[in-house]
Amino acid sequence: MACIHKRSLAAGGPADLPGARSLARPATDEATVPARDDALQSWVFDAIMEKIRANVYITRPETGEILFVNSAMQEAFGGAETLVGKTCWQTLQRGMDGPCPFCPVPKLMAGGDKSPACVWEEHNTVNDRVYENHDSLLQWIDGTTVHFQYSLDVTETKRLQRAASIDELTHTYNRRAGREKLGQSIAQCRQAGRTFFLCMYDINLLKEVNDLYGHTEGDFLIAAAARAVKAQMTPPDYLFRLSGDEFIAVFFTDDGQQVQTRIERALLQLSDTRRQLDKPYTMGFCYGIIAVYPQDALEMKEILRLVDQKMYEQKRAYHIRRAQNLAESGAGREPGPISFDYDKERLYDALVQSTDDYLYVCNMKTGVFRYSAAMVREFDLPGEVIANAAAVWGSHVHPHDKASFLESNQEITDGRTDSHLVEYRARNRRGEWVWMRCRGHLERDEDGEPVLFAGFITNLGKRGKIDLLTGLYNKFEFEQVITAHLQERPADPLQVAVLDLDDFGRINDLYDRDFGDAVIRVTGQRICAILPDGAQLFRLDGDEFGMIYRDSDTGPLEQFFEDMQRTFGRQQEYDGQKYFCTLSAGCAGYPADSDNYLQLFKYASYALEYAKQGGAGNVAHFSAEIFGHKSQALRLSEALRDSVENGFSGFSLAFQPQVEADTGKLTGAEALARWQHPDLGPVSPAEFIPLLEESGLIHPVGRWIFERAVQAYRHWAQKVPSFSMSVNLSRLQLTQPSFIDYMQQVLQESGADPRQIVVELTESYIAANIDEDRAVLDRIRALGMRIAIDDFGTGYSSLGILKRRPGQLVKIDRTFVQDILHSSFDTTFIRFIVALCHDGGMQVLLEGVETWEEYRAVKDMGLDYIQGFLFGRPVDGDVFSALPEQLPAQGRQ
């Protein structure tokens, strides 16, 4: 990475900067701006530049003279105050005798006014920080051009990204990072016409090592194997952990024999390690190697399947050899065979009758299972003999336990282990979740092939009290303790709380599920450390905890909630990894709120939901207001479902005009959903849209809205050819892959010009998902539609979004208009955003203009479009059709 080449570290004032006013506004009528240029300069730099948390830096492009730096940059570079007026490459570089060769300014200057902004990454050797720089040229009122740099410190982000990419045990890439890097390698080698080799290896008998010698030894074996393989690799080769004991090694060579030699050397190193440390178990692995040729058109999934198949061939041969060795080692038995015959069916019946457990047998050649009659009755299975048992029995397994259930069964199916032990919950015929413990063993034939899998399933009922992840009592015990208290101590009050980690999914996305499980475990320990006397903590489902408080004095309980917010309101750390995850809580009390467990738990959950609506890290106590709020939401949800099922009855669209900023000419409309309850009348979108998202009804309703909006566009485009229609999209709609296909179908069938359809996404959504959903946004653009950033200015990273240019239109939120006649900040903000957006090739629409005074204040700010009550409120289609092309006709002087 390049060293720093343009960092101004002094607090140069606006008065030192000739022509500074043009950054805040273009040439305009003096009646619409403050009288004094120096006052305006002060607003620009004090109200905008000094409030931006990123580094802002301005130089003269011809000479490199430093003109201005903001306070954030001064702080980042030690507050040097003597750099304004100096030359950047002389002052901010060591040993430079001319302009920095990596400086983007010459390239920007060569492009002139049409030069695109330059975004690049820099490792600064002065303060050892990593910055993401956004450089561009701005035209000033006096006709001069300045170089402008907006610089974000991404040091911690880069460090966290690296931490989130590394497997803690083996210090190799983890699954997510490894698969991403492999995808890049496939693409790069195909483009370069280069062959590389893939090796998958799997640790031998790891489960046996874990069972006999403990997981510490198992972890040692995994790490030792990784070290041995990495010792045989040279840059740019790399290794990543695909699953628990499966790894992928990538070798950039065209010599397959060399790769095999390296892997065999790694196996020899493992054998040496075993001898040196006198380990009582085998240290080795099975592997498969394939070549990936540039002319191959295989997807990554298929490539991994092929190398897994290669590895499995060796794994199967290994199991066959091991089975033969075990058979041959049975010496010392009494001479002469002893005959023993028995009826297999009678044996099966005898075993079933002699145990309370459920017996199962599987023919591994056919995959057909047989379950005992008692299990068929208890779980309402279709019969004793089932061909598709994985699907039938798997449908009874609790969703939270299905992953471990399937993984354990897959180990048997793949022949990776001969023994089976797993605990999970299953739903019986009465709809109850009961704990099951399944034990089984795999038998092989003389060739080492699996032939028979059999064992017992023990119905633990609700006897399993302990949550295996956290060591806390589980949700069944939570219910039992509360029920017992209500029955045995009816005179004593009780407080029931449900605690939940906010935005926990982000932890799993940033790291992985193993780290997420560790966070849940550590969170439970930290909550227990601050629990008040008389309180007990339980692990419920997922990332939820339950708490019971038995004391009549609620003071300690309130203190606990304060301690909880303080403890989890700051960055946490586990095993060297930092993360941030707050806790929210909802609380209900006996006897004030209810006298039975189900309602207490329900009301505490209602309170938790209410607390989360107010933001992360909140606590709420159940109240009549919360109950009314939830009851209303449930009532509205049912009515919304009835509306959808009855042809979207009650739903309609309203249209609000959008006009050209300088002329008031009608140029488009925003389609806004409306819904009328049959009894309550019109319901606010702020109330029914979240309910649509929670219930999943947003998908059919969103399609209905899009189709009706396109139909309306087709009608009005005949009157105004340049007419455009804006449609709001929910974040959930974009999670449904078929929605983009549906939009394409509607556009094709209607004959609408996709260039005149604008889809609006909120700034907060784009900020959180711009990388993850880039493919979705690209598909929308590929259809020809435009993307608008809605509610701009209300998020936490507005400028950061602009430099990524995710859309063609920026809609500045109405909050910046409400005080426009009195707020110099709002005035300067709008001018500044217009200048930046136009520099990046984006158009700007300002929302919320309601009065002539507001319109006159913003008319000459360079805006492209305006939307607000002054030019029209949202109206139905018939009223909108009657609007003139020029809005409003009077008073635009």
> 457 and 395: one domain?
yes
**Segment holding 866, helix H or strand E:** strand 865-867
Q: Can you give the CATH number for the domain in which 853 is found?
A: 3.20.20.450
Task: Examine residue 445 and state whether it is found in any structural domain, yes or no.
Answer: yes
> 139 and 187: one domain?
no
Q: Can you give the CATH number for the domain in which 106 is found?
A: 3.30.450.20
Residues of the chain with pLDDT under 50: 1-36, 331-336, 462, 796-797, 889-893
Kindly give the pairing relationship between strand 433-444 and strand 450-461. Answer: antiparallel
Distance from C-alpha of 860 to C-alpha of 661, rounded to nearest angstrom: 8
Q: Can you give the CATH number for the domain in which 302 is found?
A: 3.30.70.270
800's tokens: 């950061």
Q: What is the DSSP letter of 333?
A: P
- 308-316 contacts, C-beta under 8 A, 24 or more apart: 308/200, 310/200, 311/200, 311/201, 311/202, 311/286, 311/287, 312/288, 312/414, 312/415, 313/288, 314/286, 314/287, 314/288, 315/202, 315/286, 315/415, 315/416, 316/415, 316/448
Which amino acid is it at 536? Q
> 454 and 375: one domain?
yes
Task: Examine residue 246 and state whether it is found in any structural domain, yes or no.
Answer: yes
Q: What three-state secondary structure class fits 474?
A: coil
What is the number of other CB atoms lying within 10 angstroms of the CB of residue 656? Answer: 20
Which residue is listed with tokens 């939401």?
633
pLDDT at residue 803, as a whole number: 66
pLDDT at residue 404, as a whole number: 77
> 452 and 576: one domain?
no
> 788 and 867: one domain?
yes
Crossing angle of the two packed helices 698-717 and 737-750, in degrees rounded to 10:
20
On the 0-12 / 13-18 / 19+ scale of CB atoms within 10 A, 234 is exposed
Rounded to a whole number, what is the largest CA-CA distance in the chain?
116
372's tokens: 């005992």
Average pLDDT, the chain: 82
First to last CA, the chain: 55
15's tokens: 């008065």
> 767 and 858: one domain?
yes
Task: Examine residue 229 and state whether it is found in any structural domain, yes or no.
Answer: yes
Query: Comparing C-alpha atoms, which of 458, 436, 460, 457 is closest to residue 369?
Result: 457
| 566 to 85, 379, 562, 570: CA distances (angstroms) | 46, 47, 6, 7
Distance from C-alpha of 652 to C-alpha of 866, rounded to nearest angstrom: 24
Query: Comparing C-alpha atoms, which of 6, 2, 158, 148 is closest to residue 77?
Result: 6
Q: What is the DSSP letter of 302?
A: H
> 666 and 738: one domain?
yes
pLDDT at residue 86, as a whole number: 80
Q: For residue 191, give its domain range.
A: 160-324
Task: Examine residue 349 and state whether it is found in any structural domain, yes or no.
Answer: no
Which residue is listed with tokens 């903590």?
537
The residues with which 55 forms a beta bridge, in sequence order, are 151
Task: Examine residue 352 and state whether it is found in any structural domain, yes or no.
Answer: no
CA dihedral sign, ordered 791, 795, 801, 806: negative
Distance from C-alpha of 780 to C-alpha of 77, rounded to nearest angstrom: 42
pLDDT at residue 129, as a whole number: 82
pLDDT at residue 265, as a whole number: 95
Choose one of 281, 301, 324: the last residue of a domain.
324
> 546 and 685: one domain?
no
201's tokens: 């290896």
> 698 and 615: one domain?
no
876's tokens: 């139905």
What's the number of domains the chain is made of? 5
Choose one of 129, 153, 177: the last residue of a domain.
153
> 308 and 389: one domain?
no
- 795-801 contacts, C-beta under 8 A, 24 or more apart: 795/763, 795/764, 795/767, 796/767, 797/767, 798/763, 798/833, 799/52, 799/54, 799/150, 799/836, 800/54, 800/152, 800/767, 801/763, 801/766, 801/767, 801/770
> 437 and 419: one domain?
yes
Distance from C-alpha of 724 to C-alpha of 670, rounded to nearest angstrom: 9
Q: What is the DSSP letter of 381?
A: -
Which residue is listed with tokens 């479009």?
865
Task: Examine residue 808 and state whether it is found in any structural domain, yes or no.
Answer: yes
Query: Comparing C-alpha atoms, which of 174, 187, 306 is closest to residue 242?
Result: 174
Q: What is the DSSP letter of 45?
A: I
Task: Examine residue 1 and state whether it is found in any structural domain, yes or no.
Answer: no
> 138 and 262: one domain?
no
Choose one of 622, 654, 681: the last residue of a domain.
622
Are 209 and 281 in contact by the 8 Å Cβ rule? The answer is yes
Task: Examine residue 106 and state whether it is found in any structural domain, yes or no.
Answer: yes
| DSSP codes, 169-201 | TT-SB-HHHHHHHHHHHHHHHHHHT--EEEEEE
